[in-house]
Chain A
Amino acid sequence: MLEIIRQIPIDYYVWLSTALFCIGVFGVLIRRNAIVVLMCVELMLNAVNLLLAAFSTYLSDAQGQIMVFFIMVVAAAEAAVGLGILVMIYRNTKSTDISLLDKLRN
C-alpha cells in the first residue's frame, strides 16, 4: 500500500492542493452567492487536509492525520454556524448575495 502511494511523487500532491486552494481563494473572492462562498472555504480547508494527509503518509508520521481530524471537526462546526447565519440572512433579505451585506460602510 505504502509503495503504491509512494509511486506518485509528493510534488503532485503539493500541486494538486495548491490548485485546489487557489480555486477556493478565487471562489471566495469572486463569487457572490454565500453558499458557493462557503463551499469554496470548504475547498480551501480540504486542500490543506489533503496536503497534511499526504505528508503524514510520506513521512510515516500519524500526527498530520490527527490534525486532519481536528480540522474536519472544526470545518463541520464552521459549516453549521455559517449555514445557520446564512438561513437567517436569507429570511431577512430574501437573497444570498453577500454584496448586499454592506451595512457597515461609512
Chain B
Amino acid sequence: MDSLIPLIPFLPLIGFVINGLFGKNLPKSVVGIIGSGTLLVSFLLSIWCFNEVGTSGAIHVRLYNFFTVDGLQVDFGFLIDHLSVWMMLIVTGIGFLIHVYSIGYMHDDDGFWKFFAYLNLFIFSMLLLVMGDNFLMLFFGWEGVGLCSYLLIGFWYTNKEYGKAARKAFIMNRIGDLGLLLGMFMIFKTFGSLNYEDIFSRMASIRMEMGVITTICILLFIGAMGKSAQLPLYTWLPDAMAGPTPVSALIHAATMVTAGIYLVARCNPLYSLSPDAMHFVASIGLITCIFAAVIGLRQNDIKKILAYSTVSQLGLMFVALGMGAYASAMFHVTTHAFFKALLFLGAGSVIHGMGGEQDIRKMGGLRKAMPITFWVFLIGTFAISGFPLLSGFFSKDEILAFTYAHGGMVWWVLAGLSAMLTAVYMSRLLYLTFFGAFRGTTEQEHHLHESPATMTVPLAILAGLSLAGGFLNTPHFMHLGNSQWMAHWFSWVIPMQEVHLGESTEWMLMIVTTSMAVAVLIISYFIYTKKSSVPVPDAEQKGLTRVIAHKFYVDEIYDFLFVRPLERLSRLFHYYVDMQGIDGLVNGVGSGVQKLGAGFRKLQNGNIEYYLIGMVAGVILLLLTLFI
C-alpha cells in the first residue's frame, strides 16, 4: 500500500497535465471533474495515510536518488509523519472543497480550464512541500507554490494592475526565498545533509555554536516571512486579492501562506535550541499581528479586510511558534484554514451575487437576498472572533494562554488586543455587508441572488468544520473530553508543551479574552447597523482614518526606499553601461568595419587607370625601399 503514497501529489499533477494540455477542447464539466476528482482521490488517500500513521507511526517512502554531489545526497522521498499528514489533510481537503466551489464560481470565465490546471499544479507543489523528506523537496514545493501564486494572482492578466500584483507577490516571495536558500546552505554546511531525519538525529552528536543555530533559524524564518506574509514582507498578500476569490481562499488564506508555519514547526528541534531566534519569531509575529489588524480596521474592500485579517492571524501563529507552542500554532493553522476559507468563499459568494462589486460601502442588507451565504459568513466571523465554543475560540485561547505563560503579562495584553481587533474589523465587515439597508445601485439590487449549489455546499461543509473544528484540541481544564488531542497527535514530531498556570488562572484568561470578543461583537452590532456609521468615501477620509486606510503608506515607503532608487540605478546602468558601453562597443565594431569597407570600396572603381596608378606607385615604392 505504501506504493500508493506517491499518487497523492502526482494525481493533481496528472490533473494539471490533462487540463493544461487538452482542457481547452474539453467541456467545462469534464475539466471540473478532472480537477476536483484527482484531488478527491488524493484526499481519500491522505485519510488512509492519516489512519496508517496513527496506528503504525511515520511512513518513509524513498522514490529514487535525486542527485548525489560531493557528499550531498538528495533523495526524492516522502516523509509522512504526524505533522505532514495533517498538512496533507488540510491541503487536499480544503483544496477539494475550493475546487468544487470554483466550478460554480468560475463557470462563466473563458480561462476555466486554465484555472483548474493552475489550481491542480498548486496542490501538487504544496503537497511536495509538506510531504518531502528533505529541505530541497520543501524548496521545490516552495518555489512551485510561489509560481502558482504568481500565475493565479495574475489570472486576469488583461488587467495591468493585476499583473503588477502578481509580479509583486513573486518578487516579495523571492526576497524571503533567498533567506530560505541561505538557511539551507548553512544547514548543509553544519549537518552535512538536507534530510530532516538526518539533521535532527545528528543534532545531538554535532557540537554547534549557538550563533550558527540562531543564524540558521533566522534565515529560515526570513523565508517563512516572505511566504507567510510577515512584516516587513507582507505587502504582497493584500495585493494578491487581485486573483479570483477561490484563489484567495485556497492560496492566500488556507494553504500556501501556512507553508512558513509548517517550515518553523518542522524545524522545531532547531528553534528550540535558540531562544534568540524564538524571541525574534515571536516579536515579528506580534508586531505583524497588531499592525495588520489595525490596517484591517479601516479597509473598505471586502477581500482586503480578509487579507489583512489573514496577515494578522498568521502573525498570531508566529507568536505561538515563538512561544514554543508549535502544536498550538498548527491547531490555529487548522481552524484558520476552516474559517478563513469559509470567509473568503463567502466573500466570493457575495461578490458573485453583487456582480463583481467588492466595496462594502455599497453593500448592506444582503442577509435577505443571500440567506445561506449570510449564515455561513456569520459562523465564520464568530469563529475567527473567538466566540465561545467555535473553532477560533479554542485555538486562539490556547495561543493566548501560552503567551501568558511564556511571554508574560505584556505579551498577553498585546496579543489579546490584536485578538480583540480581529473581532472589531470582522464584525464591522459582517454588519456592514449583511445588515442595514442596501446601498448599491438598483441594478445590483435587482441582480442579487443566492449562489448555486456547487458554491453553497462547500460553504456549508466549511461552516460545519468552523463550528466543530475547535473540538480537535480542547483545553485540558475544560474537561470536555478529547482533551489536547491534537497536541498528543503531534507529540511524535513536536515535544508536548504544557501550560502550567493552574486552572483558575487559565479560566480567568479565557473569560477575559472571550468576554472582550463577545462584547465587541455585540457593541459593533449597534454601531454598524446604524446608517450614519457607513464609512465615508475615500476622498472624505481625514486624519488617522486616512493614514490607516492607506495602509500606513507602507507601499509608498517601500516604493520610495527601494523601488525608485533601484529603478533609477537600473536606468543609469541601462543608459551608460548597456546602451553606451556595451551597445556602443558592439555597434562600433560593426560600423567601424563598414566604414573601413566603404573606404576600400573606392579603390575598386573599375577604372583601369587607377589600378595602373596603384601598380606603378607600388613598383616605385618597392624600388625606393630596395635602393634607399
A-to-B contact residues, CB < 8 Å: 25, 28-30, 32, 98-99, 101-106
Contacts and interface: CB of A to CB of B under 8 A. Distances in A.
A83 B503 CA distance: 130
B609 A105 contact: no
A106 B606 contact: yes
B25 interface: no
B605 A99 contact: no
A2 to B, nearest CB: 32
A52 B605 CA distance: 37
A101 B613 CA distance: 16
15 contacts: A25-B616, A28-B612, A29-B612, A29-B613, A32-B609, A98-B609, A99-B609, A101-B606, A101-B608, A102-B605, A102-B607, A102-B608, A104-B606, A105-B604, A106-B604
A105 B605 contact: yes
Nearest to A99: B607
B608 A98 contact: yes
Nearest to A25: B616
Contact of A102 (B606, B612, B613, B616): B606
Nearest to B608: A98
Contacts of A98: 608-609
Interface in B577-628: 604-609, 612-613, 616
A103 B612 contact: no
Nearest to B620: A25
B314 to A, nearest CB: 75
Contacts of A32: 609
A33 to B, nearest CB: 12
A24 B604 CA distance: 24
Contacts of A25: 616
A98 B606 CA distance: 11
A29 B610 CA distance: 8
A103 B606 contact: yes
Given A99-B608, A102-B605, A104-B606, 10 more contacts: A28-B612, A29-B616, A30-B609, A98-B609, A101-B606, A102-B607, A102-B608, A103-B606, A105-B606, A105-B607
Nearest to A98: B608
A102 B608 CA distance: 8
A99 B606 CA distance: 9
A97 B616 CA distance: 21
A28 B606 CA distance: 16
Nearest to B612: A29
A102 to B, nearest CB: 3
Contacts of B612: 28-29
A29 B609 contact: yes
Nearest to A105: B606
B433 to A, nearest CB: 81
Contacts of B609: 29-30, 32, 98-99
A29 B605 CA distance: 15
B599 to A, nearest CB: 15
A9 B612 CA distance: 33
Nearest to B604: A105
B602 to A, nearest CB: 11
A102 B607 CA distance: 6
Nearest to B619: A25
B607 to A, nearest CB: 5
A106 to B, nearest CB: 7
A11 B181 CA distance: 94
Contacts of B616: 25, 29
A28 B613 CA distance: 9
A99 to B, nearest CB: 6
Contacts of A104: 606
A45 to B, nearest CB: 16
Top-8 shortest CB links A-B: A105-B606, A102-B606, A104-B606, A102-B607, A29-B612, A105-B605, A29-B613, A29-B609
Nearest to B616: A25
A28 B609 CA distance: 8
A47 to B, nearest CB: 15
A29 B612 CA distance: 6
B610 to A, nearest CB: 9
Contacts of B605: 102, 105
A25 B613 CA distance: 9
A100 to B, nearest CB: 10
A86 B609 CA distance: 17
Contacts of B607: 99, 102, 105
Nearest to A30: B609
Contacts of A30: 609
A70 to B, nearest CB: 23
